[in-house]
Amino acid sequence: MSANEDAAARPRIAILDDYQSVALKMADWSAVERCAEVAVFHDHLADADALAARLAPFDIVCVMRERTPLPRALVERLPRLRLIVSTGRRNASIDLKATAERGIVVAPTGYSSTSTVELTWGLILAGARHIASENARLRAGAWQGALGRTLNGATLGVLGLGAIGGEVARLGRAFGMEVLAWSQNLTSERAQAVGARLVGKDELLARADVLTIHLVLSARTRGLIGAAELARMKPSALLVNASRGPIVEEAALVAALREGRLFGAALDVFDEEPLPPGHPFRTLPNVLATPHVGYVADSVYRIFYGDAVAAILAFLDGRPLPHPALTPRG
């Protein structure tokens, strides 16, 4: 076989949205590179035609969480695609029915929620104490400009007590906060296990000094916090969302913040990502926004890319995947 024929026969792998240029440093890709061609893309392509053209030559695509959605319209334009490695345990932006119909395997990876728990508390503390704006004032040559708020004795409202919400609640007790919790299937026993008290949604909204969201995005949680729910909250409340943007109705939140009906919002997730340049969340003075970095940490990336390597090698060798493939529900 000639060198050109050998190159053509080797699987081609695309690693997408490597914003920090660290994908090849977070795991040992040498075994993959011996049997496949690996291309890393550091930019984000939103245009459907450009993205389809970029991915058409590849047999395997590695996506970082939901940065690049893979809807049916795109999947059907990728004739060579055989394997998608999606970092994390689930990915709502991949059309699993479309991949199943095409016989494309979707392999998840392991995950650690520690980094998102820590970022949530970073957002809470920074939002309550105006850390970002006070840092900006100092850099601009000014001195103190805002009065911060303490958390001890305040009420923490937690929407969702899964792995992340439960740990956020437990740490809330360490700050001396009263912790209330609600979700549609939450039990009193689960709430008590992490030091929280189960209350109704309306009570949670009305009493929370800090409302933090830790729910999976689904048909029943999309738009869960809208204009009516925001109106029930204290004008002095801080809303924190490090889960998924569409759980909160964006237009309603922007209106509440502009009109001073909320103390502020600390957000790591948005309806559209990357956040458009002219978006109000970039300029509203009572918004602290970070670019979806809850999971962007060294230990998490080592899990993501280490498991991606293992999944690719298992797939190419015809062995079982390290984690069960994702399949459509129902």
Q: Which residue has the tokens 């204290």?
A: 234
- Name the β-bridge partners of 179: 156
Helix (H, G, I), strand (E, B) or coil at 229: helix
Look up 197 and say whether it is catalytic: no
Euclidean distance between CA atoms 32 and 34, whole angstroms? 5
Catalytic residue among 197, 273, 279, 323: 273
* CB under 8 A, 24+ apart: contacts of 189-195: 190/161, 190/166, 191/161, 193/166, 194/161, 194/166, 194/167, 194/169, 194/170, 195/169, 195/170
H or E stretch including 311? helix 298-317
As a whole number of Å, the CA-based R_g of the chain is: 22
- The residue length of the chain stands at 330
Phi, psi torsion values for 89, nearest 5 degrees: -85, -20
The beta-strand segments (E) located in the chain are: 12-15, 37-40, 60-63, 83-86, 105-108, 155-159, 178-182, 197-198, 210-213, 238-241, 264-267, 287-289
Q: Which two tokens mark 301? A: 């990336």
Look up 273 and say whether it is catalytic: yes
Report whether the peptide linkage leading into residue 79 is cis, meaning its omega lies within 30 degrees of zero. Answer: no
Q: Which residue has the tokens 């490695």?
A: 85
- Going from the C-alpha of 195 to that of each of 65, 141, 156, 188, 189, the distances in angstroms are 31, 43, 11, 10, 10
Active site residues: 244, 273, 292
